[in-house]
Homo-oligomer: A and B are copies of this chain.
Amino acid sequence: MLDRIRIVLIGTGHPGNCGATARAMKTMGLDHLAFVTPRCDPFDEEAQARASGAEDILNSARMFESLDQAVQDCTLVVGCSARSRTLPWPMISPRELSRRLPSELKGRGDAPGKVAIVFGREDSGLSNDELQRCNQHVHIQANPGYSSLNLAAAVQVLCYECRQGWLEAESDPGNVALDETALEKAKGSETAHEKMPFGVTWDHPLASHDDLERFFTHLETSLTRSGFHRPDNPRQLMARLRRLYLRARLDTVEVNILRGMLTEFDKHTPND
């Protein structure tokens, strides 16, 4: 199960943090590390030294040009956020993530889930654009007077909670969270982890990050053509629509319906 979790570091500036992240992951049984446009050489001597025994995780890490590429096949993208943003986003605690992870990774139907946990730069964290590509944000409830966890320390806490969620699911399948609403119902029920509320399993697999980004691109184009969206004066329009659809956890059929709607509207709007 833990092998379907990917840790993604964006714009990391210190090689030591790259090595320490690999070590933190390995201690909790996580394997898959991805770097997006690091601002250092994540494989240099210092990185290898701090990995101390987890060089295999570090050196098998994959490199990506963008967050979208790094998480394109993921069904849940969680961004680690230290700050409150102007546009509130669905927010969970590491504990809550821990509880939901087993059902997220179990996926729907025959499609197992893939989860990415995304960490930003040491100095500035994740950009708003990056945060708005996440389904949810996870916030470590730190000391308000001094909340700056070292990057690798934050990774350690999240990986620890991932492992806890897995261990607790192993020992008590009834505690596996299904979705927000089913979480309580699931408690204590032996079969609950195999079912959605009322025993109905979801009918279609979740859309991938890729599907969603293509939909958002299509949506923005259609709204611009229709005149509703003004790129010169965007306000928060696309951000709010992203928040809505990312929150809803669209399945593949829903994405097809929405894109079909747009294509139909496109036929009627000016194609300059």
Contacts and interface: CB of A to CB of B under 8 A. Distances in A.
B148 A200 contact: no
B26 A143 contact: yes
B265 A254 contact: no
Interface stretch (A32-40, A125-133, A159-167): A159-167
A254 B240 contact: yes
Interface in A153-210: 153, 156-157, 160, 163-164, 167, 175-181, 183, 197-203
Interface in A136-155: 136, 139-150, 152-153
Contacts of A198: 83-84, 139, 144
A95 to B, nearest CB: 7
B91 A197 contact: yes
- Give the interface size class of chain A: 35 or more
A247 B245 CA distance: 10
A141 B197 contact: yes
Nearest to A137: B178
Contacts of A260: 228
Interface in A81-96: 83-84, 87-88, 90-93, 95-96
A202 B88 contact: yes
B153 A268 contact: no
Please list the 9 inter-chain residue pairs (A to B) with the smallest Cβ-Cβ separation, ordered nearest first.
A93-B177, A91-B178, A228-B264, A248-B248, A29-B143, A268-B268, A180-B180, A153-B156, A92-B179
Given A93-B176, A180-B180, 16 more contacts: A23-B148, A24-B153, A26-B143, A27-B142, A84-B197, A91-B178, A91-B179, A96-B179, A141-B197, A143-B163, A156-B157, A160-B160, A181-B183, A226-B265, A226-B268, A227-B264
8 contacts: A24-B150, A52-B148, A141-B163, A141-B177, A180-B181, A240-B253, A265-B265, A268-B269
